[in-house]
Amino acid sequence: MSIARSALLSLVLAALAPRSGVAQVGQPGSIRVTPATVRVNSQEATTVFLSYTGMSGYTPADAAWCGSLVVAEPDIGFRCDPATVARRSASIASASPGAAAEFTEAMSVSAPIARQAYAAAASGQGSGVFYYVRRFVSTSADPRLRRDQYVVVTCRLTSGGVGAPFALTNVTFRTDPAHPILFVRGGETAPPISAEIAYNGSGRLRGRWEVVFPGEEWPTAHDLLSEASLPLAERGAQKRYTVIDRFDQFLAPTGRTVLRGPDPSRIPTTVDGPYLLLLRIEATDDGESRGVAGPTGLSPALRTGGGASFPMPTLRYVVGGSGGTDRSRRVVALWPRDGALVSRDSALTLMWGAARSAANYRVELESLADATLTFSAVAAQGVKAYQVPSFLRASARDGRWRWRVLALDALGRELGRSDWRTVHWPPQ
């Protein structure tokens, strides 16, 4: 074919190319995303870790999933065709607009969105491809230069999640016996624990089991995120607790697995009080990772295997409490922890673990400085928290109190009681 004929054919193809087609998807602006094309399970949820670079002068805003694109003029890039938007995500607030050069997120494609795209393709209305478009708002002080950028991730449907990035889509704890809060007598061995995990792709699931002891500061939602869900600068900055076991296993692309929990004999039960069992997921190599596009080229591959768009769940278990061996009568003080300090701006809320056979509960509060200063209140069955009236705060000179909860039957007879706990609730 001659050069002239080849050029003419290129012009014809360009003229026939649809305005919202895959052929026109590019990254004309300064912001880049890695990966720019991902494979998505056609029937289940899929989570993909995305990394954006070149964000200087921009801050991330809202995003959307859609079936086709249109030119974003006068802004930069391609935005979603409003007629094909499947769902929009919430806007992202930035603490320092325009200052960050990088941004990371875990993009979660829900099962309904994937199935909608599959149904469109099956009916001949689509090609098994849809888009995730993130908008970045310009922070330029010059109105003439203030143009938003739209960055596109192309999502291609695949069967069973094969070839999709390895990421977790759901995690739930399973215990025997099944109960939201486990009660264990001091020195006893905890029951077996496992975690049911849904995921896309395949890869190594690596991590550790940690325990938060009574009196330790509890983790935040940010501390419970999987390592691969964090930007590189934040990895290693999460709170760490006592490690009691580790795991490292390969997950085939089946989409679901049951992770066996730590050896029950390693779960501590020697000190009375509330504990938290934590599932910490570490980042692993993902075959779908091809490195992160940086300002000067392609940097070494960032470990993104094992990412998730949600904090890992925790399992609370309580050691101690009274009521003999009958767990249905056992009531355990949960919050605040023994010796806790309540800030001057906060109310005092007492929480306890419910006894299944209790008809009512009696909450008792005493001043440590004045034994004659006492307070009690009755809570109905099913109630597991009580906010102490604010007028009581000024009654104790030094703000030192102790409290407990008693489980009562229908006739007001005591079934069980929690241990006393102290709390510092200073006058305002």
* CATH code of the domain covering residue 402: 2.60.40.10
Query: Residue 365: CA atoms inside 13 Å, Cβ hemisphere, count?
Result: 23
Q: Would you list the DSSP string of 321-383?
A: -SSTT-GGG--EEEESPTTEE--TTS--EEEEEPPTT-SEEEEEEEESS-TT-EEEEEEETT-
364 and 391 both lie in a single domain: yes
Q: What token pair was written down for 333? A: 């003080």
**Of 319, 343, 364, which one is at a domain's C-terminal end?**
319
Please count the CA atoms within 13 angstroms of the CA of 266 that sit on its side-chain side. Answer: 14
Q: Give yes or no: residues 184 and 285 share one domain.
A: yes
Whether 7 is covered by a domain: the verdict is no
pTM above 0.85, yes or no: no
Q: How many domains does the chain have?
A: 3
Q: Are residues 309 and 349 in the same domain?
A: no
Token pair for 267: 């779960």
pLDDT at residue 12 is higher than 60:
no
Q: Which of 135, 158, 181 is the last residue of a domain?
A: 158
* 79 and 101 housed in the same domain: yes
Q: Do 245 and 289 lie in a common domain?
A: yes
Closest CA to 167 of 235, 219, 116, 109: 109
Residues 377 and 381: their CA atoms lie apart, in Å, by: 13
Residue 347 confidence (pLDDT) = 84
Residue 10 lies in a domain: no
**Amino acid (1-letter code) at residue 161:** G
Position 18 scores a pLDDT of 35
Structural domain that includes position 256 = 167-319
Q: Please check whether residues 261 and 301 belong to one and the same domain.
A: yes
C-alpha dist (Å) from residue 354 to 270, 334, 390: 22, 10, 24
Average pLDDT, the chain: 79
> Which residues are bridge partners to 72 per DSSP?
none
Spatial distance between the Cα atoms of 119 and 111, rounded to a whole number of angstroms: 12
Any domain includes 9: no
Domain boundary among 278, 293, 319: 319
151 with 34, same domain: the answer is: yes
Instruction: Report yes or no on 5 lying in a domain.
Output: no
302 and 331 in a single domain? The answer is no
Q: Is residue 399 part of a domain?
A: yes
pLDDT in tens, 30-45: 899 988 998 888 888 8
Asked if 374 and 404 sit in the same domain, the reply is yes
> Residue 4 domain-assigned?
no
Residue 152: CATH number of its domain: 2.60.40
For residue 320, which of 214, 169, 395, 192 has the smallest C-alpha distance? 214
pLDDT of 282 over the 90 cut: yes
pLDDT attached to residue 48? 83
Q: How far, in whole angstroms, is CA 154 from its chain's centroid?
A: 24
pLDDT for the residue 178: 64
Contact 369, 396 (CB under 8 A): yes
Task: Confirm if 382 and 354 have CB atoms less than 8 A apart.
Answer: yes
Q: Cβ(400)–Cβ(422) under 8 Å?
A: yes
Taking residues 149-166, what's their average pLDDT? 83
Do 29 and 89 belong to one domain?
Answer: yes
Please tell me the total number of residues recorded for the chain in this structure: 428
Q: Which two tokens stand for residue 390?
A: 């604010």
pLDDT of residue 24: 39
For residue 237, is pLDDT > 80? yes
Query: Residue 238 and residue 187: Cα distance in Å, rounded?
Result: 30
Clarify whether residues 118 and 230 are in a common domain. Answer: no
What is the CB neighbour count within 10 angstroms for residue 268?
16
In our burial notation (b when 16+ CB lie closer than 10 A, e otherwise), range 167-197 reads bbbebebebeeeeeebbbeeeeebbebebeb
Percent of the chain with pLDDT over 90: 26
Question: In what helix (H) or strand (E) does residue 137 lie, and over which residues does it extend?
Answer: strand 129-138
| pLDDT average, residue stretch 263-284 | 89
Evaluate whether residue 140 is within a structural domain.
yes
In a shared domain, residues 143 and 100: yes
Q: Is residue 13 part of a domain?
A: no
* 179-207 per-position pLDDT tens digit: 667 878 777 888 899 999 998 888 889 99
